């Protein structure tokens, strides 16, 4: 009869210990953030390094090679580098040779402080820029860089975190919360004009005015109105120059540019900047003085 209270008290003790047990905190948590301009998609890989500073890392970014191709890939060499007393040494570039994955290797070995390593939250490991083959839905993931024969995540104390239970955690690659389908168009903008984020994509031109949805968004013109797009409507000579008139949106900065040729030999020069909020029509008189042939164009940023 005495055994029951003892077992009961032992059960309570185990339960209390479980309540006070601290959750295991990963030494390194790796994750990604994705954004899009429409034709390009950028994935940045970050790490939260909560314990021992890291001397090295190795990750692979996985992607759909049927929908994307790699435009560029780079480590964050501002933080991850090798150096000797004369300066930084040549760095191994990310490996993009295998379709569907990008291998990014990084290390920190500063000759002035060899065991400093890198620690902190939201530490940038590397960046990959993709171009699109099509407008299919996108999905990315980040995994360990090399197999078990190699060490990827190594701390300044020599610890290899790859093999520790829960030491390195890989979380999802999250899309831009303002553009969850990564089509280069803010979800709020798409819902306002189209009622859904899935009806059109960045390259569509639903109003048939010759400007795709991404161009209409950047210029803050109306994608469902074929008369609303960024354009120069008139160039009127004056006594000492020319007056340029144009139409556009309201929530975009407009730049009127001038060039002396269309052959590309001379750079386009901003001669007037129309700061937002702007009127839907604008004008500027370019006092050019002597008569000459000039070319003008209008661009917008947002």
pLDDT digits (tens, 9 = 90+) for 33-60: 999 999 999 999 999 998 799 999 999 9
Mean pLDDT of the chain: 89
Residue 290: pLDDT band (50, 70, 90) is: low
61: left (phi over 0), alpha (psi -120 to 50) or beta: beta
Per-residue b/e over 22-34, b at no fewer than 16 CB within 10 Å? eeeebbbbbbbbb
**Looking up tokens 């947002």, which residue turns up?**
302
Q: Residue 132: what pLDDT?
A: 97
SS (H, E, C) the chain: CCHHHHHHHHHHHHHHHHHHCCCCCCCEEEEEEEEECCCEEEEEEEEEEEEEEEEEEEEEEECCCCCEEEEEEEECCCCCCEEECCEECCCCCCECCCCCEEEEEEECEECCECCCCEEEEEEEEEEEEEEECCCCCCCCEEEECCCCCCCCCEECCCCEHHHCCCCEEEEEEEECCCCCCCCCCCHHHHHHHHCCCCCCCCCCCCCCCCCCHHHHHHHCCCCCCCCCCCEEEEEEECCCCEEEEEECCCCCEEEEEEECCCCCCCCCEEEEEECCCCCCEEEEEECCCCCCCCEEEEEEEC
* For range 206-215, the mean pLDDT: 97
Query: Backbone phi, then psi, for 299, in 5-degree steps?
Result: -130, 160
- pLDDT above 90 for 18: no
pTM: 0.85
- pLDDT above 80 for 223: yes
In the chain, the percentage of residues whose pLDDT exceeds 70 is 90
How far is the C-alpha of 27 from the C-alpha of 25, rounded, in Å?
Answer: 6
Residue 36 · residue 44 · CB < 8 Å: no
Q: In this predicted model, which residue has the larger pLDDT, 115 or 101?
A: 101
Query: Backbone phi, then psi, for 259, in 5-degree steps?
Result: -145, 160
Model confidence pLDDT, tens digit, residues 157-209: 999 998 877 899 999 999 999 999 999 999 999 999 999 999 999 999 999 99
Q: In terms of Cα–Cα distance, which of 227, 225, 207, 205 is closest to 215?
A: 205
């Amino acid at each position: 009869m005495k055994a029951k209270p003892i077992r009961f008290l032992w059960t309570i003790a185990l339960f209390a210990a479980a309540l006070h047990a601290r959750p295991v905190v990963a030494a390194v948590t790796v994750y990604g953030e994705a954004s899009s301009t429409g034709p390009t998609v950028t994935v940045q890989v970050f790490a939260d390094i909560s314990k021992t500073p890291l001397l090295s890392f190795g990750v692979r970014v996985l992607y759909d090679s049927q929908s994307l191709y790699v435009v560029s890939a780079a480590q964050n060499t501002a933080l991850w580098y090798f150096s000797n007393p004369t300066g930084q040494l040549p760095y191994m570039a990310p490996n993009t040779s295998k379709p569907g994955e990008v291998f990014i290797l990084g290390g920190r070995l500063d000759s002035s402080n060899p065991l400093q390593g890198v620690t902190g939250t939201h530490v940038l490991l590397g960046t990959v820029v993709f171009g699109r083959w099509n407008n299919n839905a996108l999905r990315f993931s980040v995994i360990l860089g090399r197999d078990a024969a190699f060490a990827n995540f190594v701390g300044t104390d020599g610890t290899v975190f790859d093999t520790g239970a829960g030491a390195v955690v890989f979380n999802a690659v999250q899309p831009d919360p303002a553009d969850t389908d990564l089509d280069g168009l803010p979800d709020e903008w798409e819902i306002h004009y189209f009622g859904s984020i899935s009806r059109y994509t960045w390259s569509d031109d639903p109003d048939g005015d010759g400007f795709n949805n991404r161009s209409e968004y950047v210029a803050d013109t109306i994608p469902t109105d074929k008369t609303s797009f960024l354009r120069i409507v008139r160039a009127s000579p004056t006594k000492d120059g020319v007056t340029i008139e144009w139409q556009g949106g309201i929530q975009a900065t407009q730049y009127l540019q001038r060039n002396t040729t269309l052959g590309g030999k001379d750079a386009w020069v901003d001669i007037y900047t129309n700061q937002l909020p702007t009127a839907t029509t604008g004008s500027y008189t370019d006092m050019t003085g002597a008569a000459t042939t000039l070319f003008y164009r209008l661009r917008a940023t947002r």
